[in-house]
Amino acid sequence: MTVFVSGGAKNGKSSFAQDLAVKLAKGGKHYYVATMIPSDEEDRERIRKHLADREGLGFETIECGRNILSCLDKAEKDATFLLDSVTALLMNELFPNPADGKMDTDAAWRCAEDLVTFAQSVRNAVFVSDYIYSDAACYDETTEVYRAGLAAIDRRLVAACDTVVEAAAGNFIVHKGEALL
């Protein structure tokens, strides 16, 4: 089973995805693939919150901020994987060396390919992504490249996943597949 979960910030996506991954694991092995590479105290606080939220749920955490398929070398593929988040993974891949500010323009395409391969390689996968497309504002070129890249990845995952869920104002709307919780 593959599930794509998207929605706005602080809409409960991660908690929903954690509960779903535990349910899909049915008492078996389940991994939390953490993609955020913290760059400031706000990021570190967010990571602490996520760690506290999943305490006692039996996840084995795999830190993998880049080259997502490499995490499969550290895990049993016949398991359940929660990848949180696609959004952070793309940022890390777009800017592999943040200090130089150079963007890898092939990153979104490569991420999309790797994430679909990931989904096809494991028993269960739950992907969390942020919905960042509703703004009417015009952003700088770099931000627009990021938003377009994330949209392309999300479209590929929506097509590849069995179930698609949107988090909106604390509600979870199933757009594709079956209601899981």
Per residue in 6-26, pLDDT (tens digit) is: 998 888 898 999 999 999 999
Domain boundaries 2-176, CATH class: alpha beta
End-to-end CA separation in angstroms for the chain: 14
Per-residue pLDDT tens for 44-59?
Answer: 898 888 888 888 999 9
For residue 76, what pLDDT band results from cuts at 50, 70 and 90?
very high
Q: Global pTM?
A: 0.94
In this structure, are residues 164 and 173 in contact, taking their beta carbons and an 8 Å threshold? no
Residue pLDDT, tens place only, 93-139: 999 988 888 999 999 999 999 999 999 999 999 999 999 887 778 89
CA distance 74 to 56: 21
- What ranges do the domains of the chain cover? 2-176
- Label residues 28-46 b or e (16+ Cβ within 10 Å = b): ebbbbbbbbbeeeeeeeee
Residue 174 neighbours by CB distance under 10 Å:
14
Dist. CA 126–CA 119, nearest whole Å: 9
Report, in angstroms and rounded to the nearest whole number, the Rg of the chain calculated over CA atoms. Answer: 15
C-alpha to C-alpha distance for 70 and 140, rounded to whole angstroms: 32
Between CA 14 and CA 25 the distance in angstroms is: 16
Which pairs from 45-48 meet CB under 8 Å and 24+ separation?
none
* 135-181 confidence digits (pLDDT tens): 778 899 999 999 999 999 999 999 999 999 999 988 999 999 987 76
Residue 107 is which amino acid? A
Q: Which two three-digit tokens encode residue 44? A: 């570190």
**Residue 139 in tokens:** 């952003």
Instruction: For residue 5, give the nearest of 174, 123, 149, 181 by alpha carbon.
Output: 174
* Amino acid present at 98: P
For residue 48, list its beta bridge partners: none
The pLDDT > 90 percentage for the chain reads 74
Tokens of 27: 């008492």
pLDDT, the chain, mean: 93
For residues 61-67, average pLDDT:
96
